[in-house]
Structure 1
C-alpha cells in the first residue's frame, strides 16, 4: 500500500555539504535516503521543504516521500534514529494525505541566526554562532528590521546561482532579540527565501549594528535591487532553519 510520510528533521549541518543530494559529497538528504531505503527495502526519494547550505543547521526541516509499506510511522522513526550514525535525527514522522508535499504545501518558514557578541570567542558551541567582538547597537538593527517586514523585492539580498521566477517575497516577522548578556538572535519568518537571503540580511544588519548603515540607508539598499549595495554574507554556522509552517 502506497503511503505518504512527513518527516520533521533536526541536524547539525557542520559536516555536511548542505541538504540537497550530491553524488560526490555527504549531504543530509543523501544520508537520510540511504537509511530509509535500507529500512523499507526500496528506493526512497525525499522532497525537502527547501535547501540549506553547507554548514547551516536545522531544528525543524521537513521532508516528504511516498513508499509502498505497512510499517507504522513510529517504527520508521525509531528505525532511522537507530541506524543513523551521523548527526541527523527524526523528531517526528507521520502519515499524511497523498496531496501533501513538503515544499509546495508550505506557507512559511522561520529561520534563526545566532550571534555571540563579546570580546572573547566561545570554546563550546563555536559551530553554532557568529562571534562578533565589537559591540552591536540592537536598537539600530531593529529599526532596520522594520524595513524588512512586508512584501518587497529582495534582489539586493540574493546571491547568484539559484533559479527563481521572482525575487519578491513577503516577510511576516523580522526582529533582533537579546537572549542574554552576550547572545543575540535574528528571527525572520517569510513565505519564502532567496539564495543566502537570511545570511545577507544578517550581514547588512550587523553593518547597521556597527553604525555603518542607517535605517534610511537600509531602505535604499532594499530599493536598489543590487547585491553589491548590501553587506557581506554572514557565516553559515550561525543559521538554523527553525520550522516550516503549513496551512
Structure 2
C-alpha cells in the first residue's frame, strides 16, 4: 500500500464542513468520491482539520492509501478532473508510512477576514465577516499581542469541544489592513480549541468597536470564563491557511 498526501484548497460556502456527515454534502465526502472514482476502489481520506460549515481552506492536508501506480505528483491533476470548481488539489506526493495528516502535525495557521465598511460586499459576502462600525485597528493590534504564548484558552472555546486540556500555545498573531476595507487577523499555534480562532476574532472585533479595552484581554484569558470574551465571529470569514509538520 502507498500513502499519498494531498493539499486541498476549497471554498466552504456550499459544504456542510469538512467531515463526512449523513444527509449533508461535505468536502471530505466529495474528495473521497472523486478519488474512489479515479481509482475504481473505495478510498478513505483522512484530513488534518475538521473545518465547520462555511469555513474555507487554502491548505487543508489529507492522506489516503492506494495500490495505484499513478506517480505521487500526478494524483493532483487526475483528481482535479473529477472535482467541482470550488475544490482543488493543489499538491500531491507519496509519503512514508509513518506520516499521518492529523497526528503528525506540529501546528496550524489561520486567517480571519473582516470587511469593515458601512455596507456589506456582494462579492465577499461568503468570504468575510461584515462589520459596519469603524474598527480601531491599532487597538486590535495591541490586544492581539496578549494572546501570544502558552495560555489556558478555556475562555475561547465553544461548547461541544471535547479535549483533555484547554492549554494551547500561540506562536504569532498579527492584525493588518485596512486597504480596500479589509482587516486581516493571522494566527498560528500548536493547536486550537473548538471555534477558538472565531472567538478570538470576535473578541478583537469588540476591542476595535470599543466594547472591550485591549488591557482587559489578560484578565479574560486568566479568568477562563467564556461569557467574558467576545461573540463567535461568523464562519465565512475563517480560512485554514497552512499545516505545519
Q: TM-score, normalised by structure 2?
A: 0.97
Give CA deviations for 1:165-210 in whole Å, capped at 9, x if unaligned.
1110000011101151411100000100100000000001100001
Q: Distance in 1 between matches of 2:240 and 2:68?
A: 30
Q: Distance in 2 between matches of 1:192 and 1:80?
A: 29
Q: Distance in 1 between matches of 2:210 and 2:217?
A: 11
Aligned counterpart, 2:198: 199
- List aligned pairs for 1:112-151, cutoff 5 A: 112-151=111-150
Give CA deviations for 1:21-52 in whole Å, capped at 9, x if unaligned.
11211000011111111111222111111110
Q: Distance in 2 between matches of 1:176 and 1:74?
A: 36
Aligned counterpart, 2:165: 166
- List aligned pairs for 1:94-243, cutoff 5 A: 94-178=93-177, 180-243=179-242
Secondary structure of 1:126's aligned partner: coil
Contact 2:73/2:94, CA 8 A, preserved across alignment: no
Q: Distance in 1 between matches of 2:73 and 2:97?
A: 18
Aligned counterpart, 2:37: 38
5+ long unaligned stretches in structure 1: none
C-alpha change, 1:169 and 1:29, in structure 2 (3 Å) is same
RMSD: 1.1
1:25 aligns with 2:24: yes
Q: Distance in 1 between matches of 2:178 and 2:66?
A: 42
Secondary structure of 1:127's aligned partner: coil
Secondary structure of 2:21's aligned partner: coil
Secondary structure of 1:124's aligned partner: coil
- List aligned pairs for 1:1-80, cutoff 5 A: 2-80=1-79
Q: Distance in 2 between matches of 1:78 and 1:7?
A: 11
Contact 2:17/2:26, CA 8 A, preserved across alignment: yes
Which aligned segments of 4 or more residues in structure 1 are displaced greater than 4 angstroms?
A: none
Secondary structure of 2:3's aligned partner: strand
Q: Distance in 2 between matches of 1:204 and 1:67?
A: 44
Give CA deviations for 1:105-142 in whole Å, capped at 9, x if unaligned.
11110000111111122121221111111111111111
Q: Distance in 1 between matches of 2:5 and 2:137?
A: 38
Q: Distance in 2 between matches of 1:53 and 1:86?
A: 20
Contact 2:74/2:92, CA 8 A, preserved across alignment: no
5+ long unaligned stretches in structure 2: none
Q: Distance in 2 between matches of 1:82 and 1:102?
A: 23
Give CA deviations for 1:124-161 in whole Å, capped at 9, x if unaligned.
12211111111111111111111100000111010111
